[in-house]
Structure 1
Amino acid sequence: MIHNAFSPSSKTYLFVHGAWHGAWCWNKVIPLVQAKEHKAIAVELPGHGPDNGRISQISLNDYVNAVVKTANDQIGPVILVGHSMAGIVIAQAAEKLGSKKVSALIYLDAFLPRNGESLFALVEATLQHLPPHASRKPYLVENIITAEDYQTNWVNPEMAAQIFYHDCSDEDKKFALARISQEPVAPLATPLSLTDEIYGVIPKYFILCTESQDMDKTFLSTHVPCEKVYTLASSHSPFFSMPEKLVEILTELK
C-alpha cells in the first residue's frame, strides 16, 4: 500500500528502540502501521545495529541528534514512540524539536522523565515505588553486567529471554537474542533538560505492559501527566508478541 502524504488523517511515526536493542525490534510494527496508511520509520540509535564500532563513546546527545535529524527530514509533524530507555531520548528530542514538530509522545513501557532526571535516577525511583505485593521476578537491574571501565553494559545472556521475551515465539526469541548488544552507559547517566513551555505542553501517552518481567513500570505511567494510559497484557516486547494490538493503540491516538 502506498502511503498518501497528503491524506489529512495520515500521521508520521518515528519509532525509537530501547537499550541493547536496535531498529530491528520494530520489524513487525512498521508494515502494520504502513498498512493503515501512515508513515512509519524505525530510528537506529548510534552504537546499535551495524554502527557499533565506537559504542563506549556514545552520548545522550548522539541519541537525541539521531532522532532530531530523522524528524526534521520529514514533512510536517511527527509522533515519537519510545520503548523503554528511549523514553528519555524522545523527551529530550521533543524539547529540541518543539511542540509544532512533535504532535505527541508515546511511551511504550518506557521511562517517562521530568526535568533534571537521568535514566538511572528514574530506575531508582521506580524500584522504590514497586507495589508491595509484586511477585519476585528476574528484575533487569539484577542481570545487568557492566564492563570493567564502566563505559558499557549488557544483559546476562542466560536471562535475557525471560526478562524481555517470555511471551514471544521461539522464532522471535532467537531473532532478538542474536541481535541484542552492549549499551553505552553515558546516555543512561545524563540528566535531561526539559521545560514546561516545550516538553510540558506536548501530549503524552503511556502504554504499560502489565506482564513485563524487566521491571514494573506502573509508577512511571503516573510520573508525568499523560493524556491516557493504555495497558497491554504483554511482556516488555509487545512489538514481537502482540504487534497488532500494539498498532491498534498507536494508531487510534488523535
Structure 2
Amino acid sequence: MKTGLLLLLITCLLQTISQAQSKTYLLIHGGWHGAWCWKKVVPLLEAKGNRVLAIDLPGHGDDKTPMATVTLDDYVQKIVSVVNTQTGPVILVGHSMAGIAIAQAAEVLGKEKVAKLVFLDAFMPKNGESVFALAGKAGEQNKAAGKPESGSSLTESLILSDDKKTSVIKPDRVGQLFYHDCSADDVSFAKAHLCPQSMACLGTPVNVTNARYGAVSKVYILCTQAKDLDKSSLAQNVPVQKLYTLASSHSPFFSMPEKLVAILAEL
C-alpha cells in the first residue's frame, strides 16, 4: 500500500515538473504566408514537450476573410483572442511582417500573458513605425553603411491589385527572395500556398508604450543570408534580451527547422 502511494506521489511530481518545464508557443506567419509555413517546426517543438499553436491570420491560409478588407487590428484581435484562450503566459513568435502584429498584440496583452516576443527576421517596431516605415529605415541605414543591395527588392517584386489594396509576389522572384536555400519541394509547396497580402497591414503604424510593449522581454533571430532585406539594423531597433543569428534565407522554418527549433526551445 505504501509503495503504491509512493509511486503515485512520484508520478504526480514528475507530471508537475514536466508541466512546469513545458512552454506554450504561438507561431505567427509573415506576409503572403499562412500557418502552413510552420509545418516542420510544430512537430519538432512539440516533441520537446511544448504546446505549439500555428494560426492563420485573417485572410490567410484557411481563413476566408476577404483580404482587401483586412487590417492590422484584425491581425491583432486574432492573436489576442488565441492567447487569451491559453492557460498561463505565451511565447509569441512573429516572422517578418508579423513582428508588427505581435508588437501591437503585446501592447494589448501585457507581460502577464506574453512571456516573450520572438522576432524571426522580423520588423521590430518602435512606437509609430509600420512595416513600410521600417523597410525604408533599414534600406537607408544599409545604404549609409555601404552594404550592397542583395538584388531585386521586395517592393520591386510586388504586383498590386487594381484597387491597390492587396498585392502578390511575382512568381519568378519568389524563390530568390524567400527560399534560395530551400529544397525544390519546399519552394513548390510555398508557391502553391502563397496568398495575396493586405497592403493596409503593411502601412499601418503601431501604437505601443514602454509600460506595456516595452516591458515584455524580446529576442531577435536574424537570418544573415536573407535576400528580401538585410535586417541587421532592425535587430537593434528596440532593446532585446538576446540576438541570435541563423545563416539562412528568410525562411529557416523550411531550410533549417532543427536549428530554428533549438533556439526557440532555449528561450
- Fold-level similarity (TM above 0.5): yes
CA distance in 2, matches of 1:136, 1:245: 24
**Pairwise CA distance, 1:135:** 4.8
**Aligned in 2, Cα 1:14/1:53: closer, same or farther, shift over 3 Å?**
closer
1:37-89 deviation per Cα after TM superposition (whole angstroms, max 9, x unaligned) = 01110021000012245110001110001100110111000000000000000
Answering whether residue 96 of structure 2 is matched by residue 88 of structure 1, we say no
1:167-204 deviation per Cα after TM superposition (whole angstroms, max 9, x unaligned) = 00111111101000100111111111101001001110
CA distance in 2, matches of 1:104, 1:51: 26
Does the residue aligned with 2:26 lie in a helix, a strand or coil? Answer: strand
Aligned length in residues: 251
2:169 corresponds to: 155
1:248 corresponds to: 262
CA distance in 1, matches of 2:149, 2:32: 25
2:68 corresponds to: 56
Alignment of 1:105-116 (within 5 A): 105-116=117-128
**Pairwise CA distance, 1:136:** 3.6
Unaligned stretches of 5+ residues in structure 1: none
**Runs of 4+ with deviation above 4 angstroms:** 3-6
**Aligned in 2, Cα 1:175/1:4: closer, same or farther, shift over 3 Å?**
farther
| Alignment RMSD (CA, Å) | 1.4
Alignment of 1:230-241 (within 5 A): 230-241=244-255
2:219 corresponds to: 205
CA contact (8 A) 2:150 2:228 kept: no
CA distance in 1, matches of 2:131, 2:157: 17
**Aligned in 2, Cα 1:4/1:134: closer, same or farther, shift over 3 Å?**
farther
Alignment of 1:100-139 (within 5 A): 100-130=112-142, 131-139=145-153
Answering whether residue 189 of structure 2 is matched by residue 175 of structure 1, we say yes
Q: Report the structure, 1 or 2, having the larger helix content.
A: 2
Unaligned stretches of 5+ residues in structure 2: 1-14
Quick one: which of 145, 150, 155 aligns to 2:159?
145
**Pairwise CA distance, 1:147:** 1.4
Quick one: which of 151, 161, 184 aligns to 2:198?
184
1:42 corresponds to: 54
2:231 corresponds to: 217
Aligned partner letter, 1:20 = W
Does the residue aligned with 2:21 lie in a helix, a strand or coil? Answer: coil
